Amino acid sequence: MTEPPRPPGAGDPGAQPPEATPPSAPHGSSSADEPPTAPLSGPPGAGGYPPPGGYPPPSGGQPPSGGYPPPGGYPPPGGYPPPGAGYPSGGAYGPPAGYANNDDKTWALVAHFGGAAGVIVGGGLLGWVAPLIALMSRGQQSPTVRAHAVAALNFQITWAAASVLGWVLTLITCGILFFVPMLVWIVPLIFGIIAGVKANEGVLYRYPLSYSFTK
């Protein structure tokens, strides 16, 4: 009798079984679409994946390893300004408005506020003392101080003379016109304070009802 046909390789000790054919990929897909099978680390590779922590910022300083910003954040575009930039050095902010320096402003205030204080102390008779001191002390070095001192001095002398007349009228009338010296005393006090406020702003105040004794 004849033997039935054997399958290929059957009974042949040197033959190998046929290999299994892997399943074909779905239509429209490729091997590039498959995700990586191993965790990624280190710098970007050929696959285009970012390293752990993400990419560094597009501009500015580079962060340390891991992608985290440095302490204090990233510097602004162009870098940080140098210490003290944009601020006056030494605490000086320039001379006050209307004056060459702080000394000129101080003496101008002495002329006006000192005149008002002299009115209070001297009963309307000593308001000219402070402007005269300012004129003699600083008026020769600073035209600005001289202008303030002369304006205050002329006004205070004018009203000091008016105050003397008011006291004379009070004595002649046996005290009936006692209010006249008080009115004369108030006028130079009020206008002296107003002139001092204006001088603090750098403005030369023009006193009303003032006679020019000194120029």
Burial 163-176 (b: 16+ CB within 10 A, else e): beebbeebeeeeee
Token output for 179:
């209010």
CB neighbour list of residue 115: distance below 8 Å, 6 or more residues apart: 127, 128, 129, 130, 131, 152, 153, 155, 156, 188, 192, 195
pLDDT in tens, 18-33: 555 555 555 554 555 5
Residue of higher predicted confidence among 153 and 18:
153
Q: Measure the CA–CA gap between 124 and 95, rounded to whole angstroms.
A: 34
Instruction: Return d(Cα 167, Cα 31) in angstroms, integer.
Output: 117
Q: Whole-angstrom Cα distance, residue 143 to residue 80?
A: 45
What average pLDDT score do residues 97-125 get?
91
189 contacts: CB under 8 Å, gap ≥ 6: 116, 119, 120
Position 90 confidence tier, pLDDT thresholds 50, 70, 90: very low
Question: What is the model's pTM?
Answer: 0.56
Alpha carbon 140 to its chain centroid, in Å, reads 37
Residues 179 and 128 sit within 8 Å (Cβ to Cβ): no
Report the C-alpha gap between 96 and 13 in whole angstroms: 113
Cα separation, 194 vs 210, in Å, equals 15
Query: φ, ψ for residue 99 (rounded to 5)?
Result: -135, 155
Q: What is the pLDDT of residues 130-151, one digit of tens each?
A: 999 999 999 999 999 999 999 9
